[in-house]
Chain A
Amino acid sequence: MAEVTRMLVVWCADWPVVAAGVPLEVPAAVFHANRVVATSPAARAEGVERHMRRRDAQARCPELVVLPHDPAGEARAFEPVVAALEAVTPRVEITHPGACAFPTRGPSRYHGGDEALAERTAAVVAEVLDGRGFVRVGVADGRFAATLAARHRSGNPAVARHPAAWRGRGREAGGSVATTVVPPGGSPAFLAPLPVRELAEPGGPAGPELVDVLERLGIRTLGDLAALPLAEVVGRFGAEGRAAHRLASGLDERPPATAPPPDDLTLAAEIDPPAERVEAAAFVARGLADELQRRLAARGSACTRLVVGAETEHGETHERVWRTEGTFTPRAIAERVRWQLDGWLHVGAHRPTGALTRLWLAPDEIVPAGGRQLAFSAGGPGAVDPVEAGERVARSLARVQGLLGAEAVRVPEWRGGRGPAERVDLVPVAATDVTEPRPAARRDHVRAPWPGLVPDPAPATVHDPPLPAEVLDAAGRPVRVDGRGEVSAPPATVAAGGQRDEVVAWAGPWPYDERWWDPGRHRRRARLQVATAGGAAHLLAVEGGRWWVEATYD
């Protein structure tokens, strides 16, 4: 047990809703990418659950208040909580807005035991929240157990999740606080009856895929998982399984680092001229974060806990410890800096009096890189984190849609069809979710054979609309395609767009009998491939004696 740090976790229930300033009695849900990410207890009572689509959530609860996901606002609202906790301990780590943690060893001794410390912590936070939200405090060996202790008061998830029980308990606990202390050495026993699904909660070590597999194998509780031999779990599930097994056994996800990170990873930047606005400082932070990333990468490390500090021209300083599940990306670091400064400059009780002159980043805990990847992706150079990339794309597309309208931005989807323009259709991106896989954009989405298809390769330029053309034979007469799919004479020249080219090779026709660009009429048409003397190749289409250049093999 020596390798477990005893931790206290403060968890503000339903923080995204609380931070938005919506009373918890109002059914409200926070949405991100059209999915519920947080709900108020009243919304849960109506059957609104996390991951639900907006339409489904509103069907269950028509009066649902829809809130946008605003991590910056949540962080800003959380700053007073962290500031107040500094009266209890100097070492508060912010896990995410709404949750923070600290090791209890020192503070516990000072405040007279874990129970007293938990009560005191809860009271401090409750005072800041002033009845706006509910505070849960958990103390246990290991961060994971402490987090679960904070979430599930009695260790029984059924009770903690039930809205009626939540109301009753709230009254019994004096309105808005609840504390749970798991005795030293008691973490494994506390965790054993809890479901393995807890591992896949946000911030947990495992993805839903791992939990699904475990459940299908009949491993339903953390105790079941802990009872398996570690070697077998690692053999079957790799690093992710190892982390899950350690947590289920009441250990920390990783053995604690024996040496502090070297000083040369601490980076600081003078801001000149001093920054009055958060944006200016965040820009500097991004540069620092990129540099930190480079230095960490050069030693094959990644950062999981980070101290962010700032100083003003009057010497006021502000430091916060940020922790993340997974590792910090430069983007995530810059985001934390922005949140922290925003909170300090705008809501804190101790607002600075001057502009920011200095900013520093100090990794507090580093781990070998790659040991903690949250998402699987194709490895190798240039590999991209698909989730992060999708979110970046979604943000940038939102801006373009704001400039041009929702219809102007489109994504391809496969359809059945014979023509190059019909086989792939474009749908407005607003009708899709770019952060999710889109099977309709994969070629195997369409399987039906399409007789009459012009063989591959497909043309790289598809004229929209098709260009009217004139196709003549060697004698200068228009080329025709008869009802049996025969050409009247080999094409000798093609004219389109004011240019006439000599045809040096051709093939076809590929007759087809369906609607094309004029859905009202239904006639036989045919396609022809031609190569011109200039080295170009075109796909021609004929309908009722009229020719078009449908596409160019550009």
Chain B
Amino acid sequence: MFDHGGVARAEGLAHDPVTGGRAAGGSPAPAPGGRTGGVGLAELAGRVRPTDLARDLRLPVLPAFEPLLPGAGLRRGTTVAVGARPGVTGATSLALALVAGASRAGSWVAAVGLGSLGLVAADELGLSLERLVLVADPGRERGGWASVVAALVDGFDVVLVAAGGRLRAADARRLVARVRERGSVLVAVGGELPGERSPLRLTVTSSAWQGLGDGWGHLRGRRVAVAVEGRGEAARGRRAELWLPGPDGAVAPVEPVAEPIPLRPRPGPAGQRSAPAAPAPPAPAEPTGEAG
């Protein structure tokens, strides 16, 4: 029977639209057409499969993150570090969007030490506020943080914790072990847990808002470039450009360069409608080059 379990897992991995697509094609950007077909099948398999097995493995993520993560989800029992390059903003939104898929699918999310979390933004990025709990100030004592996070890891599928919080390296190590045992996902927001090197790291490498003019308009959308690194199954790094959020409020991949778009001009950074005089200096063309 062990074999059956193994086969089931292997199948789950084989359906991974990214590894599957890339292994077959060898192209750096998975062809959107092939990907759609793969997702359809994987989705079907997911529905047929008893939920408990799938639940053992990974928490779902928003479709925009699926091509970025090994296995198209957040592996239970692991830690994830979400940060940004110095001087670049967007780590908080990225962390929220990363766990939004799990939250939508019914998982509870706890946020520790993130007293200034924008809750309206959390809702807009897809989190269900019905299943969000905040422990803004886990106390002055250093040991307090560790006990609070440990207790939350027992009950929540996802725990967001401020990376700059009062955690000692020894506490962090114990927490990582506890997360592994409980099968939850611990997300360090704004960097790494002290002394740890997470198996999965997402970093915002550049970020540019659009929609704001010289005294007119309003913020509409933001393009960010995200680098995904790690070890193990995430060892081969990936890069992508995301709308975080897009002009329609959704988190979505910026359409890949390779994709042929017939009959209409690409809605580029200086999209005709929203921002003819887009905030120029952080030229949104930069990240495109990086991702390509």
Contact = CB atoms under 8 A, between A and B. Distances in A.
B50 A459 contact: no
A505 B213 contact: yes
A389 B101 CA distance: 16
A392 interface: yes
B89 interface: yes
Contacts of B216: 507
Contacts of A441: 128-130, 132
Nearest to B108: A393
Contact of B118 (A386, A420, A454): A420
Interface stretch (B41-49, B164-172, B192-200): B41-49
Q: How many interface residues does chain A have, given as a range?
A: 35 or more
B51 to A, nearest CB: 4
A531 interface: yes
A329 B55 CA distance: 12
A369 B50 contact: yes
A441 B132 CA distance: 9
Nearest to B57: A381
B121 interface: yes
Nearest to B102: A382
Interface string A473-492: 00000000000000100100
B121 A295 contact: no
Given A424-B123, A507-B216, A535-B209, A458 B118 contact: yes
A383 B55 contact: yes
A508 B96 CA distance: 27
Interface in B44-76: 46-47, 49-60, 73
A116 interface: no
Interface stretch (B217-225, B228-236, B254-262, B264-272): B217-225
Contacts of B279: 504-505, 531
Contacts of B134: 409-412, 426
Interface string A457-470: 11111111000000
Interface in B265-292: 278-282
A261 to B, nearest CB: 12
A230 to B, nearest CB: 26
A392 B184 CA distance: 12
Nearest to A491: B215
B188 interface: no
A185 interface: no
B129 A380 contact: no
Main secondary structure of the interface of A (DSSP, over half): mixed
Given A294-B53, A382-B59, A411 B133 contact: yes
Contacts of B128: 441
A429 B130 contact: no
B118 A378 contact: no
A533 interface: yes
Contacts of B240: none
Contacts of A40: none
Contacts of B59: 382
A297 B50 contact: yes
Given A294-B53, A505-B279, A531-B212, A380 B43 contact: yes
Contacts, number: 266
Interface string A510-554: 000000000000000000011101111100000000000001111
Nearest to A384: B106
Interface string A377-400: 111111110100110111111011
Given A396-B156, A460-B93, A411 B118 contact: no
B contacts with A: majority SS: mixed
A394 B107 CA distance: 13
Interface residues of B, number: 89
Given A400-B135, A460-B117, A507 B53 contact: no
Nearest to B127: A412
A534 B152 contact: no
A396 B105 contact: no
Contacts of A298: 1, 4-5, 8, 53
B26 interface: no
A412 B129 contact: yes
A429 B217 contact: no
Interface in B16-55: 43, 46-47, 49-55
A437 interface: yes
Contacts of A423: 119-120
Contacts of A553: 89, 93, 209, 219, 222
A458 B281 contact: no
B203 interface: no
B167 to A, nearest CB: 15
Contact of A507 (B8, B124, B218): B218
Given A382-B58, A403-B147, A461-B118, A456 B212 contact: no
B100 to A, nearest CB: 12
A284 to B, nearest CB: 14
Contact of B155 (A397, A414, A424, A457): A397
B106 A386 contact: yes
Given A381-B58, A397-B155, A437-B130, A507 B217 contact: yes
Interface in A293-322: 293-295, 297-300, 302
14 contacts: A295-B1, A298-B53, A379-B47, A381-B55, A389-B106, A396-B152, A399-B154, A400-B151, A400-B152, A403-B147, A420-B121, A438-B130, A535-B206, A553-B222
Interface of A: 264-265, 293-295, 297-300, 302, 329, 369-370, 377-384, 386, 389-390, 392-397, 399-400, 403-404, 408-414, 420, 423-424, 426, 429, 434, 437-438, 441-443, 454-464, 487, 490, 504-508, 529-531, 533-537, 551-554
Given A395-B154, A411-B134, A461-B118, 12 more contacts: A369-B52, A379-B51, A381-B46, A382-B51, A437-B130, A441-B129, A441-B130, A456-B249, A461-B92, A463-B116, A464-B115, A553-B209
